[in-house]
Amino acid sequence: MVSFLGVNPSDRVDLSVQVGTVRFANPIIAASGTFGYGLEFAHLVDLNRLGGTVTKGLSLHPIEGAPAPRLCETPSGMLNAVGLENVGVDAFVKEKLPLLRKYNTHLIANVFGYCLEEYVQVIERLEDAEGLSAYELNISCPNVKKGGMQFGSDPALVEEVVREAKKAAAKRPLWVKLMPLVTDIGLIGKAAELAGADALTVANTFPAMAIESRFQRSRLGNLTGGLSGPAIKPITLRLVWKVSRAVRIPVLGLGGVENVADVLDYVSVGATAVQVGTASFSDPKASEEIVGGLARGLSEVNCFNFKELTGKFSKENS
Ligand SMILES: Cc1cc2nc3c(=O)[nH]c(=O)nc-3n(C[C@H](O)[C@H](O)[C@H](O)COP(=O)(O)O)c2cc1C
């Protein structure tokens, strides 16, 4: 786009965003579990160009994960049942983090546990490590001490796990990643905010399944999995819109982000930044390519920075 003065408006665009106390060069962050630890993509993507990268979920002990097949394609989306496979927090700190520190991008550690104490212990082990900008708490996990009920499905449980995690996370901001399939996501978001969350990530995958009825078997090694990709975008867009109006802390939007238009949609309904997940499976460079198109996209909606666009839809349609 060239103006009549010969100045390209996209040259004057500021792509940086502020998520609480952390400033990101741009709002594009690779989503947990879809980008390995970041290192696996470093030969394909210039990690320095991304606003940030969220690690695979980290647990107290290594986890081998679910049996194959772990992924299956669905119309406009994908099902996964990886089973939260990871090397465990200690090996992450020792082997992965020293390599990741070399990149000039924010690294966010995604954390999970099967009981409250495990969440706290993982954070405690990360506290002394250098090179992390924030924690992201995955609360879509079954709480073994409460009969397998997921942490993220009940406001009281959300408040409890976030409060304890916040006490442990003295050095860094705590983001809380919400489950999408809950009765009132605004209520859950508020519970997390009340307990001290510094930002909310909305949202995780949707519980789903795909079967082969000819053989009466699941198309995943696990019986069920999580649905992601463009198929879920209209649903998560609404969730981000709802949560953003319920809380004051920043919201990170994700679910089916594939291009600049998707980013602008999430920001318009209230997201401060977005995460790119499944798109990296079909095109590993997707996140970097989105970054490349942001300045033009923003200038095309007549904005010079993302703050001007954040929540604009909500303000104009309240
Ligand atoms: C293969 C795979 C593994 C994932 N692993 C994690 C994980 O370890 N922790 C987590 O919080 N979310 C995990 N997610 C959820 C994504 O981070 C994201 O919330 C979801 O896929 C929706 O975004 P998308 O439609 O852009 O993929 C995973 C998703 C996929 C597809």
pLDDT in tens, 244-256: 999 999 999 999 9
In the block, tokens 């079909």 appear at 282
- Please identify, by atom number, the ligand 1 atom nearest to the C-alpha of residue 86: 8
Q: What are the pLDDT digits (tens) for 19-45?
A: 999 999 999 999 999 999 999 999 999
DSSP label at residue 288: H
Q: Provide the token pair at 106.
A: 């924010």
Give residue 2's pLDDT: 47
- Please identify, by atom number, the ligand 1 atom nearest to the C-alpha of residue 54: 17
Tell me which residue has its CA closest to atom 26 in ligand 1. Answer: 277
Q: Provide the token pair at 70.
A: 């772990």
Q: Does the beta carbon of 231 sit less than 6 angstroms from any atom of ligand 1? A: no
**How many other CB atoms are there within 10 angstroms of residue 281's CB atom?**
16
How many angstroms separate the Cα of 286 from the Cα of each of 41, 124, 269, 273, 307? 11, 33, 22, 16, 23
Beta strand 217-218 with 211-212: parallel, antiparallel or unpaired?
antiparallel
What percent of the chain has pLDDT above 90? 93
Q: Does the beta carbon of 152 sit less than 6 angstroms from any atom of ligand 1? A: no
* 151 has pLDDT over 90: yes
Q: How many helices (H) and strands (E) does the chain have?
A: 11, 18
Q: Does the beta carbon of 256 sit less than 6 angstroms from any atom of ligand 1? A: yes
Tell me which residue has its CA closest to atom 8 in ligand 1. Answer: 57
Encoded amino acid at 305, one letter: N
Residue 66 and residue 48: Cα distance in Å, rounded?
Answer: 32
Q: Does the beta carbon of 253 sit less than 6 angstroms from any atom of ligand 1? A: no
Residue 62 Cα, ligand 1 centroid: separation in angstroms? Answer: 18
Residue 105 Cα, ligand 1 centroid: separation in angstroms? Answer: 20
Alpha helices in 41-115 (DSSP H): 89-91, 97-100
- Please identify, by atom number, the ligand 1 atom nearest to the C-alpha of residue 57: 8
Mean pLDDT in residue range 192-213? 98
83, 63 in Cβ contact below 8 A? yes
pTM flag (> 0.85): yes
Burial of 127 (0-12, 13-18, 19+ CB in 10 A): middle
Phi, psi of 186 (to 5 degrees): -65, -40
Furthest-apart CA atoms within the chain: distance in Å: 66
Among 62, 229, 233, 204, which residue's Cα sits nearest to residue 140?
204
- Please identify, by atom number, the ligand 1 atom nearest to the C-alpha of residue 138: 11
Q: CA 261, 266, 272, 274 torsion: positive or negative?
A: negative
Q: Does the beta carbon of 113 sit less than 6 angstroms from any atom of ligand 1? A: no
Q: Does the beta carbon of 229 sit less than 6 angstroms from any atom of ligand 1? A: yes
Q: CA 290, 292, 298, 300 torsion: positive or negative?
A: negative
Residue 187 Cα, ligand 1 centroid: separation in angstroms? Answer: 22
Q: Does the beta carbon of 200 sit less than 6 angstroms from any atom of ligand 1? A: no
Beta bridge partners of 207: 226
Which pLDDT band, with edges at 50, 70 and 90, does 175 fall under? very high
Is 141 catalytic? The answer is yes
Which pLDDT band, with edges at 50, 70 and 90, does 170 fall under? very high
